[in-house]
């Protein structure tokens, strides 16, 4: 029966990858975008999950067990987890499926997350975890504490969610439809956030009785299965392989299949400092989730659906941790050299450091080749000269409009300052190189740069962050900017051209 976990996990991985479904981004948008649009997808998961679990519980199909609410551990752990997922670039499930997209930084974060959670649960840090959880209030669920039927809360959450969905769908209809990549079959197109949320909630409902039938009385979960996988790899003890372990392995397999089929898989290697941040973020995630009793899945989706004190308090403090992390570390790039081979340079973005090369030189544009941007850009760039400082050669050898790829920090005209990795192409066209930057940096930099441009100016963005294929077009539509071109540039690489309103 544990192999049903592999099937459920594969379905979950496909939905999450195709829906760009990451709770980190949903919580981050509240602070960075001042928007609850994507968070509404999490509310859909909770609502669908809550209805299904209440039905399964009331009919006796499942019998959930509730842990006592230990406020110190939950609050501290959730804050730590929220900070960690900002550094790691994704929540627990997001880190699993982004690993399947080829992001080596996510592999590092995932390894540290699994190792630290194993240490907290049964290893060297187990004593610390027990000590932090000693202050147990004995409270379990909110309905039990108030002597109210769980169905009251199910109906309330469902009603609030329905209002939120209606509000944001109506808002979407009032703005121009965001641009999408053309000429793609339906199965390669991303799922709408809300569709993905409903499917994740439904998968969560199905997961519980299947998991219980395999001897694991729980629903979706990432932290304990990840730690159990590490224990098995270290000890070889087959008792550690349960339904939950099969779930996370299936999640990886499903996400890989979806990414590969959609042309969104490519190995991308982080630089040393970004890798260091992945290590720190992963460790914080594992320690935090173990203290809090769950991650954004275990607490943010399952325990909230059970209306436990632990789940809702944890979700609030994870959000506060994300907000604090966003304030500390998510800011526009000052300057970042473009690295060859798809290497991440998020560390420069996080540190706001300025890259300086040993010597400077002026690059004259090469003749326009086959053209990777619109004809307007090609015409504009035929007479442009770009000042730059050299760095490692580009792996592709060509950049915007047939030019050699940007090789370093750029000298920009005064109106744009040096707020990002921007190149002036001439005739009102500017090129922003976000290749290698993990989300949300392509969007952060695009917004920062666009604010400095004049109406009618064009911004050409190269990026390889999968989530930005939805985030950038939606932001452009909301702000009224015209998208004049949007295309794939190869495996897991895209280019979009915006005209400032």
Catalytic positions: 439
Residue 487 φ/ψ, nearest 5 degrees: -150, 160
- The span from the CA of 82 to the CA of 296, in Å, is 9
- The span from the CA of 398 to the CA of 376, in Å, is 18
- The span from the CA of 318 to the CA of 299, in Å, is 10
Residue 247, helix vs strand vs coil = helix
From residue 416, alpha-carbon distances to 355, 363, 413, 422 in Å are 18, 20, 6, 9
- The span from the CA of 501 to the CA of 482, in Å, is 7
Under a CB-based contact definition with an 8 Å cutoff, are residues 326 and 32 in contact?
Answer: yes
Half-sphere exposure for 90 (CA within 13 Å, toward CB): 28
β pairing state of 422-426 and 429-434: antiparallel
- The span from the CA of 74 to the CA of 52, in Å, is 26
Cis omega (within 30 of 0) for bond into 440: yes
Q: How far is CA 188 from the centre of its chain?
A: 19
Residue 422, helix vs strand vs coil = strand
- The span from the CA of 25 to the CA of 317, in Å, is 15
Instruction: Locate 8 and state its tokens.
Output: 């459920």
Instruction: Locate 420 and state its tokens.
Output: 């990002």
**Residues whose CB falls within 8 Å of the CB of residue 339, separated by 6 or more in sequence, listed in order:** 271, 345, 391, 392, 436
Strand partners, 410: 388
- The span from the CA of 107 to the CA of 90, in Å, is 11
Residue 493 φ/ψ, nearest 5 degrees: -150, 135
Under a CB-based contact definition with an 8 Å cutoff, are residues 326 and 31 in contact?
Answer: yes
- The span from the CA of 54 to the CA of 48, in Å, is 10
H, E, C per residue of 87-110? HHCCCHHHHHHHHCCCEHHHHHHH
What DSSP state is assigned to residue 297?
A: T
Helix 243-261 to helix 3-18 angle (10° resolution) is 40
Half-sphere exposure for 422 (CA within 13 Å, toward CB): 27
- The span from the CA of 8 to the CA of 4, in Å, is 6
H, E, C per residue of 217-234? CCCCCCHHHHHHHHHHHH
Residue recorded with tokens 């100016």? 457
């Amino acid at each position: 029966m544990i192999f049903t976990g592999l099937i459920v996990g594969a379905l979950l991985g496909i939905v999450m990858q195709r829906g760009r479904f990451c709770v980190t981004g949903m919580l981050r948008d509240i602070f960075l975008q001042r928007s609850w649009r994507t968070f509404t997808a999490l509310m859909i998961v909770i609502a669908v999950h809550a209805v299904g679990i209440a039905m399964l519980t009331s009919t006796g199909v499942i019998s959930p067990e509730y842990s006592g609410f230990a406020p110190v551990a939950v609050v501290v752990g959730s804050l730590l987890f929220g900070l960690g997922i900002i550094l790691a670039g994704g929540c627990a499930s997001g880190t699993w499926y982004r690993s399947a997209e080829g992001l080596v930084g996510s592999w590092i974060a995932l390894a540290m997350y699994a190792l630290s959670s194993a240490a907290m649960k049964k290893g060297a840090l187990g004593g610390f975890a027990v000590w932090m959880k000693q202050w147990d209030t004995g409270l379990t669920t909110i309905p039990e504490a108030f002597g109210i039927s769980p169905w009251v809360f199910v109906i309330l959450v469902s009603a609030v969610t329905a209002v939120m969905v209606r509000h944001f769908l109506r808002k979407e209809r009032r703005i121009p439809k965001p641009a999408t990549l053309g000429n793609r079959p339906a199965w390669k197109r991303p799922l709408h956030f809300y569709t993905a949320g409903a499917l994740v909630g439904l998968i969560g409902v199905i997961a519980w009785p299947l998991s219980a039938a395999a001897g694991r009385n729980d629903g979706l979960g990432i932290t304990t299965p990840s730690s159990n996988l590490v224990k098995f790899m270290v000890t070889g003890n087959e008792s550690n392989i349960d339904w939950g372990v099969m779930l996370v392995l299936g999640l990886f397999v499903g996400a890989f299949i979806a990414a590969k089929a959609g042309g969104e898989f490519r190995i991308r290697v982080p630089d040393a400092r970004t890798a260091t941040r992945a290590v720190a973020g992963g460790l914080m995630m594992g320690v935090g989730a173990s203290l809090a009793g769950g991650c954004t899945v275990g607490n943010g989706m399952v325990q909230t659906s059970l209306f436990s004190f632990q789940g809702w308090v944890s979700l609030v403090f994870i959000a506060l941790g994300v907000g604090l992390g966003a304030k500390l570390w998510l800011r526009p790039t000052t300057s970042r050299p473009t690295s060859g081979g798809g290497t991440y340079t998020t560390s420069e973005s996080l540190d706001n450091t300025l890259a300086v090369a040993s010597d400077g030189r002026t690059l004259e544009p090469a003749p326009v080749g086959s053209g990777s941007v619109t004809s307007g850009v090609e015409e504009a760039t035929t007479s442009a000269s770009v000042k730059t400082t050299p760095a490692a050669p580009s792996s592709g050898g060509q950049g915007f409009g047939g030019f050699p790829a940007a090789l370093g920090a750029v000298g920009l005209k005064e109106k744009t300052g040096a707020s990002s990795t921007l190149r002036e192409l001439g005739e009102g066209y500017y090129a922003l190189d976000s290749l290698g930057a993990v989300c949300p940096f392509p969007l952060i930099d695009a917004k920062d740069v666009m604010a400095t441009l004049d109406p009618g100016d064009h911004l050409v963005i190269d990026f390889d962050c999968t989530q930005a294929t939805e985030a950038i077009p939606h932001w452009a539509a909301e702000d009224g900017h015209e998208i004049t071109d949007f295309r794939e540039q190869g495996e897991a690489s895209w280019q979009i051209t915006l005209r400032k309103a």
